[in-house]
Structures are given as C-alpha cells and as structure tokens.
Structure 1
Amino acid sequence: ANFVGAIAWGIGLTLAGYYAATIPAVKTGSYAIATFFIVGSIVAGIRSWMHNRKAA
C-alpha cells in the first residue's frame, strides 16, 4: 500500500505541476513563490548559523 501510494503521489504531483505550468498566471506566480522560499531558507540558515556560533 505504501509503494502504490508513493507512486500515485509522485505521478499525480508531476502531472499537476505540468498542467499548472500551462497557465501563464500560475507560471509567473510560481517563480515568485519559489524565490520567496529559497530566500527564506537561506535567511533561516544564516540566522541559525549565527545563533549557534554565538552559543559556542
């Protein structure tokens, strides 16, 4: 059951992303959302690194 669910999830998300990318507004918005999460991850990593550096 786990294997079948994983395959269905992977194929489903891939197809959803493929068809969503055909809509121009979704394609444009996805770049902004991806940029937000990438920048947020980098900032969180730097903050964590600085916090751990101070504690040591």
Structure 2
Amino acid sequence: MSFHRSHPRQRRICDEHKAELEEENYHLHSELQIEVDTNRQNERRINQLERDYT
C-alpha cells in the first residue's frame, strides 16, 4: 500500500497557510485574553460599587 506524497510546492503553500493561521490564532488568543481580563476588572469594579452603595 502506498500513500500520496504532496508536491513540494503544494506542501510549501500548505505550510505557509498553516503558519498564517497559527499567527492569526495567536493574535486572536491575545485579543481574547485582553477582553477576558477587562471583563474581570469590570466585574470587580461593579461588585465594589454595589458594596459601596448598599
């Protein structure tokens, strides 16, 4: 049984696309982490304000 080996050019394009997706994933993960951190800060602030006014 043999397996199909992709052409070197196809493999390079695939590897380049994979690298682009990994870079985009890294940036999206960073943006998401910033949003999560901001959300936590806002929740703490809301909780503090609720305690201050009750």
TM-score for both structures, normalised by structure 2: 0.61
Instruction: Tell me the equivalent position of 1:32.
Output: 27
> Between Structure 1 and Structure 2, which shows a larger proportion of helix residues?
1
- CA displacement, residues 11-47 of structure 1 (integer Å, 9 cap, x when unaligned): xxxxxxxxxxx80110110111000110100000000
Identity %: 6
Q: For 1:24 and 1:54, locate their aligned partners in 2 and report how far apart those are by CA, in whole Å.
A: 45
Report runs of 4+ in structure 1 exceeding 3 Å deviation. none
Q: Would you say how many aligned residue pairs link Structure 1 and Structure 2? A: 35
Q: For 1:27 and 1:53, locate their aligned partners in 2 and report how far apart those are by CA, in whole Å.
A: 39
TM-score for both structures, normalised by structure 1: 0.59
Which residues of structure 2 form unaligned runs of 5+? 1-16
User: RMSD across aligned C-alpha pairs, in angstroms?
Assistant: 1.3
Instruction: Tell me the equivalent position of 1:43.
Output: 38
Which residues of structure 1 form unaligned runs of 5+? 1-21
